[in-house]
Structure 1
Amino acid sequence: MLEALLEFSKSTGFYGITAGTVAMLAVACVLLYLAIVKKFEPLLLVPIAFGVLLTNLPFAGLMAEPVLEIKDNIVHTVEPGGLLYYLFQGDHLGIFPPLIFMGVGAMTDFGPLIANPKSLLLGAAAQFGIFITFIGAISSGLFTAQEAASIGIIGGADGPTAIFLSSKLAPHLLGPIAISAYSYMALVPIIQPPIMRLFTSKKERVIRMTQLREVSQKEKIFFPIIVTVVVSLMVPPAATLIGMLMLGNLFRECGVVGRLEDTAKNALINIITIFLGVTVGATATSEQFLKIETLAILALGVTAFAIGTASGILLAKLMNKLFNLNINPLIGSAGVSAVPMAARVSQVVGQKEDPGNFLLMHAMGPNVAGVIGSAISAGVLLSLFGG
């Protein structure tokens, strides 16, 4: 009887708890706290945090690969594998990120960008963080060029793009990179304001911009078609992300596929967000996460994010001086692509200085430009280092 009880105890998860297990469960609880109590992007952090929790439960096997054997030239399944392993194939094969992009496109109004094409430059400037961090990661000696490229893309503050690129260039780093990217996206309201205040004066923060012109429906219909063709011809590897982003936006603007638009921006993106979030979290096992390289990724990721934020602000200030424009530099920080979080932060910081100043629509221009810019940057890096 005693021996049977001992064997039963060895089959429970309690028997498999290690220091690494405790550490990762603590990480999951911290992420859940930020999501539920602090309300930092709960739609992202709740599924990610629960994925971290699930994958680190001893003997649960939710990310276990199937065990196969070949007998008489026929493949037989010995162990079927865990649920999250199969859902993870949507990340691994690059399926979920483009579908997320389609939903983002269906939810996004590109009108502010079309009305003020100069904001495209601010979105481009924010991508400097990607390439500067890439150089820093290479210089550290800890990472290969492919790994450094995957880490650098965190600076775009675009979780789906980070997953898409790292799944192709450095799949073994997918967990730390994805969690870093999504965590910093969720922490936009904390990370960005100090940087915005550091690089701007009070006089600059209260600049009031002129109202944007009205954009016609014809312009909005032609925009996704033209962008898809031009970007895909320039950077073919970016066609998957840009194509899905612009397809979703065409659903929104063409006015004849309301059901498809509704599905893309509601049911579909919500389902994919659940699958993607949980499986991203499920890659964060103690063996993969508790390493010096992970700490370096987290540090490089926040550096990339900070540089991207500062670059957009500084370019806005430079454009004001060189071309005698009246751009509020705060909108430059929105070029980091986290839609619409970064644009909302520009609005909040601006209204703290001048409650009557409305920057949201102006900030949406660089914000959606940043989405396009991060996809193009990923395409460039994939062209250079994708073999």
Structure 2
Amino acid sequence: MEFLINGITQVTWQHFLMWIIGGVLIYLAIAKNLEPSLLLPMGFGAILVNIPMSGVLNQFLPGIGEVNGIIDWLFEVGIESSEMMPLLLFIGIGAMIDFGPLLANPRLLLFGAAAQFGIFATITVAAILGFSIADAASIGIIGAADGPTSILVSQVLKSNYIGPIAVAAYSYMALVPIIQPLAIKMCTTKHDRRIKMAYNPKSVTRKTRLLFPIAVTIIAGLVAPASISLVGFLMFGNLIRECGVLRSLSDTAQNDLVNLITLLLGITISASMKAETFITLQTFLIMGLGLLAFVFDTIAGVMFAKFMNLFLKEKINPMIGAAGISAFPMSSRVIQKMGLEADSQNHLLMHAVGANVSGQIASVIAGGVIIGLIPGFM
């Protein structure tokens, strides 16, 4: 009888709070349709790991002995020891992405690079606030607007805050349609948002599409060797898409693989959402810094576009710069919607898509650079 009530007597207010947090994530996933494939398993996982004496975690249970919990096992095998899950997810993401709009207008690569400013600005702010350099770098990568990259970097750098970082990264990705318009309007005028851009794409040959993922992998590997697993798996997925002889594998990567890994990754990351380590002042700071990173990235992309306009005859709509973050395709859709709100004839989607996919490349390279550089400062 004592065993049956042990779980109830060990419930604390921290457990209750984590149940509420889990419930909020589930609510956002179902009621608001915000990243449901990730927020729902993360929310349910947060409840699972915060039930006292939960059998999903590794622990000693009175009357039973050592229990090897499934969620701890998934975390150890899929994230901690090999970073397998985030990397496999990149294959599916690469298979989803059409780099055609970027290849038709290569200068859009510059916006992907510019929109990573928020990562390094946030690292600086986090370090000033007292986080270790490894934790500060892991927090800064939230600005990559790429959940798998955030998880991978924080795991490789052995951050103490993998759970809060993952929650912040995916939550703010889901809130891009709310965060980005506010940030864009802070640094643009109505005139800026009304600038029209003609879309006259150059034809992109099949050979170019095939060589692009190979060339990016080699160049990124030489410049930032630590990024090769991130960039390589992303580009491998894209090569499967573009080769034309692996259609069934491309479809599998885009659908079955992505869905399965996303589901497992969401519930597995909850292993780092235990109440005793999650309910801290640092978690709230991380959430604030993550928001700061997203805002900095957006503003940096916009301001870079406005700077380019000083030298261009055919002006760029500055909002295109904001699409340089990695939240594909949400950010490009936001820019298209804002362009139409400013002028019903202002179609910016394909320009924004080009900047958006360049942000995907830039974010994984930035993650690799951080993985390579930070250990030298530790």
Q: Distance in 2 between matches of 1:15 and 1:272?
A: 36
Q: Distance in 2 between matches of 1:285 and 1:231?
A: 36
Q: Does 2:77 align with 1:83?
A: no
SS at match of 1:335: coil
Count of residue pairs the alignment pairs up: 371
> Which residue identity is paired with 1:62?
V
SS at match of 1:322: coil
Q: Distance in 1 between matches of 2:343 and 2:33?
A: 26
Q: Does 2:147 align with 1:159?
A: yes
Q: Distance in 2 between matches of 1:321 and 1:227?
A: 30
Please name the residue that 1:127 is paired with: 116
Q: Distance in 1 between matches of 2:314 and 2:107?
A: 10
Is residue 56–residue 69 contact of structure 2 (8 Å, CA) maintained in 1? yes
Q: Distance in 1 between matches of 2:60 and 2:296?
A: 42
Please name the residue that 2:41 is paired with: 47
Q: Does 2:281 align with 1:287?
A: no
Is residue 335–residue 369 contact of structure 1 (8 Å, CA) maintained in 2? yes
Is residue 236–residue 379 contact of structure 1 (8 Å, CA) maintained in 2? yes
Q: Does 2:354 align with 1:354?
A: no
Q: Cα offset for 1:171? A: 3.8
TM-score (norm 1): 0.92
> Which residue identity is paired with 1:191?
I
> Which residue identity is paired with 1:149?
A
Please name the residue that 2:359 is paired with: 370
SS at match of 1:260: helix
Q: How does 1:1-387 map to 2 (within 5 A)?
A: 4=1, 7-11=2-6, 13-64=7-58, 79-89=66-76, 90-92=78-80, 93-141=82-130, 143-211=131-199, 212-386=201-375
Q: Cα offset for 1:325? A: 3.4
* Higher deviation after alignment, 354-363 or 288-297: 354-363
Is residue 325–residue 356 contact of structure 2 (8 Å, CA) maintained in 1? yes
1:330-354 deviations in whole A, cap 9, x for unaligned? 1211111011111111111111122
SS at match of 2:328: coil
Q: Distance in 1 between matches of 2:48 and 2:309?
A: 50
For the structure 1 residues 84 and 223, does the alpha-carbon distance in structure 2 shift closer, same or farther, using more than 3 Å as the test?
same
SS at match of 1:118: helix
Q: Cα offset for 1:8? A: 4.5
Structure 1 runs, 4 residues or longer, greater than 3 Å off? none
For the structure 1 residues 225 and 65, does the alpha-carbon distance in structure 2 shift closer, same or farther, using more than 3 Å as the test?
farther
Q: Cα offset for 1:322? A: 2.1
TM-score (norm 2): 0.94
Q: Cα offset for 1:15? A: 2.1
Is residue 175–residue 280 contact of structure 1 (8 Å, CA) maintained in 2? yes
SS at match of 2:324: helix
Q: Distance in 1 between matches of 2:277 and 2:344?
A: 46
> Which residue identity is paired with 1:325?
E
Q: Cα offset for 1:329? A: 1.2
Q: Distance in 2 between matches of 1:140 and 1:324?
A: 43
Is residue 168–residue 386 contact of structure 1 (8 Å, CA) maintained in 2? no
For the structure 1 residues 113 and 66, does the alpha-carbon distance in structure 2 shift closer, same or farther, using more than 3 Å as the test?
farther
Q: Distance in 2 between matches of 1:25 and 1:354?
A: 45
The runs of 5 or more residues in structure 2 that have no matched partner are none
1:303-358 deviations in whole A, cap 9, x for unaligned? 01100011001111111112333211112111110111111111111111223322
Q: Distance in 2 between matches of 1:79 and 1:214?
A: 62
